Amino acid sequence: MGIPTEPIGSIPRPPALLAALSGHAEGKIGDAELAARQDEAIADTMARLEQAGSPVLVDGEQSKPSFVTYPLAGLTTLAPDGAVIPFADGHTRQLPCLTAGPFRYQRHAVTYLRAARGHTTLPVKQAIIAPSALSLLYPAAGVDGYPRKAFLDDLTAEAEAEIRECLDAGAHAVQLDFTEGRLSLKLDPSGSVLDDFVALNNQVLERFTDAERARIGVHTCPGGDQDSTHSADVDYAGLLPKLFQLKAGNFYIQLAGEPDPERVLGIIAENLRPGVRVFVGVTDPIDPVVETPEQVRDRVLAAARRIPPDQLGTCDDCGFSPFADDTSTSRDTAFAKIAVRVEGTRLASEALGL
């Protein structure tokens, strides 16, 4: 079967969808027209992934406002002044802040999955936001009548329900996006916040069987918005040992954009436990240059020298457009990188005799 390869999630939105998003925000088009443009973009995204040879598809997050805030769309108990995430190029993203409880997802990812599966017979993976990221919604000052413990209990229940719905609906895999893991070490070098994140995510993951966790994965990267990162300067050595404490069956780890991938592979090998698969990033969405299949092949072979091939997979380092307004990477470039990832992984599989 060779080495498995999967996309991470987001794909740049096509011009027609970007125009529809702007028109909808300005009140010029209605919900129905926006939904139609989103469905067209999903269909085109999945068709182009098939053309690129991708054995597992995603919807490209064409109808998500962002990889992190989709569960909040329509939630009225939010203020705009939440946590600020600074990126290396100077731009920021700001999360909202919870003002009242109880906390409930307004939209579950299974709705995206069902829409995507209507466009293909191939396996479809569903990316979701990790509960640790949404825990940042709770303000440091607290919420009147809604203690933090009650919020975390509600959040844990909502996250479990979202994963279970996707598994039951036939997702090939469910991927928890955990980009805040590396960032947490920048904000708190002691690692206390990271420990809390891992513990919270494990409270959710522990509710699933071993067979179910084999279809659940965790993605880590230093961010990838507008071709900039938020935590690439944080040493992976502080994150990876704790990352592998997460009770997931798959790990999707940004690697192609690292300055010393051999060192990172060594850390992965030291912390790898039996029964899990590590998908290493072999294409860099931030780099505008499209890799060659031979470059990808060589990156896979380097990983196979450290990671047993039966525990190895490949992926892109990150999504190509995690926020809907991110147009820093072209749609054609994203699909070109995906195509070389697929081909380079195939070449590596052949070289390894798999």
Q: What is the 3-state secondary structure (H, E, C) of the chain?
A: CCCCEECCCCCCCCHHHHHHHHHHHCCCCCHHHHHHHHHHHHHHHHHHHHHCCCCCECCCCCCCCECCCHHHCCCCCEECCCCEEECCCCCEEECCEECCCCCCCCCCCHHHHHHHHCCCCCCEEEEEECHHHHHHHCCCCCECCECHHHHHHHHHHHHHHHHHHHHHCCCCEEEEECCHHHHHHHHCCCCHHHHHHHHHHHHHHCCCCHHHHCCEEEEECCCCECCECCCCCCCHHHHHHHHCCCCCCEEEECCCCCCCHHHHHHHHHHHCCCCCEEEEEEECCCCCCCCCHHHHHHHHHHHHCCCCHHHEEEEECCCCCCECCCCCCCHHHHHHHHHHHHHHHHHHHHHCCC
**Which residues in 33-68 are b (16+ Cβ under 10 Å) and which e?**
ebeebbbebbbbbbebbeebebbbbbbbbbbbebbb
β-bridge pairing 92-94 and 84-86: antiparallel
pTM of the model: 0.96
Peptide bond into 102 cis (omega under 30): yes
Per-residue model confidence (pLDDT) at position 65: 87
Please identify which residue in the block is written with the tokens 């959710």: 204
Mean pLDDT, contiguous 10-residue spans, the chain (354 residues)? 93 95 93 95 97 97 92 94 93 95 96 96 97 96 97 98 98 97 95 98 98 98 93 96 98 97 97 97 96 98 97 97 92 98 98 96
